[in-house]
Structure 1
Amino acid sequence: MGQTRYEHVTTKQTLNRVKAERMPFDWSINPYRGCGHGCSFCYARGFQSFIGMGYEDEFQHHIFMKMNAAEALQQQLTIAAKKHEYDLEAMRRSIGEVTIGTATDPYQPIEGKAEITRECLKLLAKYRISTNITTRSPLVMRDLDILTRMEDVSVNISLNTMDAAVIRMLEPASPLPAARLETIHRLSDAGVDTSLFVAPVLPLITDAEDGIRGLLTSARERGAVYAMISLLRLSRDVKKWYLATLKLHFPQLVQSYRELYSQGAYAEGDYIRSFKAMAALLLAEFKLDKRTAEMAETIPSLPRRMPEPSKPVTGKELMPEVEQLSFPF
């Protein structure tokens, strides 16, 4: 498809209730639909059909930007504050955790200019909402001026291999492994609770124990306090695109994948059980299986210019507009 088209859209609500019981969060925010990183295995490709879009190149090259996301979020949070008579602690407990980036990367390339995610983050900070962010991008470091002022925030950096060549083949526009590991380091150094998401693990490509061990070692050395390891899930539409990508770069694996995923979206049962057992042992070994993990001795930070916002946040921007309440920073 080549050139990327960015389409401005409006949204009625930015906070969306997550109804699935297996999800560990209550609400989600996705400032964009589609993703410029173009990961071939992304499960969000399967959501394109909900709006009459394709799961192929269109997912990467036609990005919908929710330009009023912050305004819609402000409305939702204002209503919630009034409902709880401006008791923000009660409001915070009622809402629970909000996760940014469940069906798109909130720090994909266009966010560098658009700053839609940043504006939403300011509001979550203002109302003291527990926030979790999942991204592949070092651009999240731009928002350290907000993250370091939030009372309850965590960031998950997704990375499934240290092999830059594999990343380029299967995640054509994603940041390379070294940049993502540095992001873990920088965030951790700044006091932000940072985790590694080894996801999705790609059978026969990134599932070797030595490779995952290397990832966990690097993340632990850079201050990660938790890690999650998750196997590839292939819905029908995503499977078509992913297998077509494998045919280009790993043609010898296509038939093996067809057999491994012959029963549906999940790999064959014995493979799953074996892999999960190995993953659990590794997480326990590195003490990354619980968010209460003790900090390991970290390697020194590397001097490097970090991404910067167009305008630094001010304390006033993060103060709730409720005169009778005072929240010191």
Structure 2
Amino acid sequence: MARTQYERITTKQTLNRVKEERMPFDWSINPYRGCGHGCSFCYARAFQSFIGMGAEDEFQHHIFMKSNAAEALEKQLSSAARKFNYDIEAMRRSIGQVTIGTATDPYQPIEGKETLTRECLKLLAKYRISTSITTRSPLVLRDLDILTRMENVSVNISLNTLSGDVVRKLEPASPHPEARLDAIHRLSAAGIRTGLFVAPVLPFLTDEEPELKELLSQAKERGVSFAMISLLRLSRDVKKWYLETLKHHFPEVVQSYRELYGQGAYAEEHYVRSFKSMASRLLNEYGLGGLTKGTPAAVNRSGPIAAGENGASDEGAVGHPAREWAAPVRPRKLPKPAAPVSGEELTPDVEQLSFPF
């Protein structure tokens, strides 16, 4: 097993503006680069190329820690406060929504020691900034003392399967599903608005309707307020690493992935449409739709499905879209969708959560 290297770096600014207007938040914070959870499918692996690194093991085993993240954030927020003559209410309205954890998990294992996320959270609470957090880790419970004092905060727990076997093979250092469900329960019990991010759904592995229903049901029982379901997106570098991981753990599905994703980052149109219909119906069934400000979203083919999206209904829904979708025989000929698909629905014009570090 590779030994993890931790490197301290400094940043000029901790708050990064999200320029895409359709995103449901205005600023992002990522206290780390890379992630110790090591999820083989993580879209953030592709960002390693920005700093001359690969999407493979380096993403998990070379973690950059922004040691001055809190100091840089204090500088940004105090500057904003001066601009508004210390009218904090006017300032917070101007800043809008801040989301922590769009390109790394802010509660990955090293956070237990470094507390970079905790120190940033203290400042967001001090300036009363509307905040959402996305994480796979119950370590977020450590900061309940801060979260319960914040005026407008939500926590989004990422969990795409109840299978401990799948998690251990594809997310080698992520917390067990039961630990994440317990985090949902404890956050909700403390009065924190808590969401479930079923992301990413993995074709042929975690996309069966009974499994998704059980996941939504268990989250609902534990007090989750809303949910988002998002399909797997595979950029070139991430696809290479993910398929290599599948070869080792789930070799029987590798060829199916090659057919379903082809040369692109998104699954074939027919599969996407079938899956969206099912996912929208399930969110409606459990009353967990309604993405709002503070729940990271995207508008592309891999992006989140909200209840009732695109007029989806029970009609034509399927129990297992990956098995309903048949890999085409060469030469490739796509199956025709059951109904017309809009260009907006199929055009990947926004990368899911691909924001600056």
**If the TM-score is normalised by the length of the shorter chain, which range does it land in?**
0.7 to 0.9
CA distance, structure 1, for counterparts of residue 22 and residue 263 of structure 2 = 22
Please provide the CA RMSD for this pair: 0.9
Residue 2 in structure 1 maps to residue 2 in structure 2: yes
Residue 154 in structure 1 maps to residue 121 in structure 2: no
1:69-104 deviation line (CA, Å, top 9, x unaligned): 000000000111111111111111111100000000
Any conservation in 2 of the 1:155–1:194 contact (CA below 8 Å)?
yes
User: In the alignment, which residue of structure 2 is the partner of 1:121?
Assistant: 121
Any conservation in 1 of the 2:6–2:62 contact (CA below 8 Å)?
yes
User: In the alignment, which residue of structure 2 is the partner of 1:253?
Assistant: 253
CA distance, structure 2, for counterparts of residue 168 and residue 22 of structure 1 = 34
Deviation at residue 22 of structure 1 after TM alignment: 3.3
CA distance, structure 1, for counterparts of residue 285 and residue 158 of structure 2 = 20
The answer for unaligned runs of 5 or more in structure 2 is 293-357
Residue 30 in structure 1 maps to residue 30 in structure 2: yes
Any conservation in 1 of the 2:136–2:158 contact (CA below 8 Å)?
yes
Please tell me the residue identity of whatever aligns with 2:71: E
Deviation at residue 236 of structure 1 after TM alignment: 0.5
User: In the alignment, which residue of structure 1 is the partner of 2:354?
Assistant: none
Deviation at residue 217 of structure 1 after TM alignment: 0.3
Deviation at residue 263 of structure 1 after TM alignment: 4.5
Counting only pairs closer than 5 Å after superposition, residues 205-220 of structure 1 correspond to structure 2 as: 205-220=205-220
Residue 11 in structure 1 maps to residue 11 in structure 2: yes
1:259-280 deviation line (CA, Å, top 9, x unaligned): 1111411100010010001000
1:182-224 deviation line (CA, Å, top 9, x unaligned): 0000000000000000000000100000111011000000000
Q: TM-score w.r.t. structure 1 length?
A: 0.88
Please tell me the residue identity of whatever aligns with 1:271: Y
CA distance, structure 2, for counterparts of residue 133 and residue 10 of structure 1 = 22
1:212-253 deviation line (CA, Å, top 9, x unaligned): 101100000000000000000000100000000000011111
1:12-57 deviation line (CA, Å, top 9, x unaligned): 0000011123321110000000000000000000000000011100
Counting only pairs closer than 5 Å after superposition, residues 207-286 of structure 1 correspond to structure 2 as: 207-286=207-286
CA distance, structure 1, for counterparts of residue 287 and residue 192 of structure 2 = 18
Any conservation in 1 of the 2:228–2:291 contact (CA below 8 Å)?
no
CA distance, structure 1, for counterparts of residue 222 and residue 173 of structure 2 = 24
Residue 287 in structure 1 maps to residue 287 in structure 2: yes
CA distance, structure 1, for counterparts of residue 157 and residue 188 of structure 2 = 12
Three-state SS of the structure 1 residue aligned to 2:254 is helix
CA distance, structure 2, for counterparts of residue 288 and residue 241 of structure 1 = 33
Three-state SS of the structure 2 residue aligned to 1:79 is helix
The ranges of structure 1 where at least 4 consecutive aligned residues each deviate by more than 4 angstroms after the TM superposition are: none
The answer for unaligned runs of 5 or more in structure 1 is 293-329
CA distance, structure 2, for counterparts of residue 280 and residue 21 of structure 1 = 24
CA distance, structure 2, for counterparts of residue 69 and residue 244 of structure 1 = 35
Please tell me the residue identity of whatever aligns with 1:237: D
User: In the alignment, which residue of structure 1 is the partner of 2:304?
Assistant: none
CA distance, structure 2, for counterparts of residue 19 and residue 58 of structure 1 = 29
User: In the alignment, which residue of structure 1 is the partner of 2:51?
Assistant: 51
CA distance, structure 1, for counterparts of residue 162 and residue 282 of structure 2 = 17
Counting only pairs closer than 5 Å after superposition, residues 181-192 of structure 1 correspond to structure 2 as: 181-192=181-192
Three-state SS of the structure 1 residue aligned to 2:245 is helix
Deviation at residue 290 of structure 1 after TM alignment: 2.2
Greater Cα offset, 283-292 or 205-214: 283-292
Three-state SS of the structure 1 residue aligned to 2:198 is strand
Aligned length: 292
User: In the alignment, which residue of structure 1 is the partner of 2:72?
Assistant: 72
CA distance, structure 2, for counterparts of residue 90 and residue 274 of structure 1 = 45
Three-state SS of the structure 1 residue aligned to 2:256 is helix
Percent identical among aligned pairs is 76
Deviation at residue 291 of structure 1 after TM alignment: 6.0
Counting only pairs closer than 5 Å after superposition, residues 95-174 of structure 1 correspond to structure 2 as: 95-174=95-174
1:136-168 deviation line (CA, Å, top 9, x unaligned): 000000000000000000000000000000000
Q: TM-score w.r.t. structure 2 length?
A: 0.81
Any conservation in 2 of the 1:225–1:291 contact (CA below 8 Å)?
no
Three-state SS of the structure 2 residue aligned to 1:157 is strand
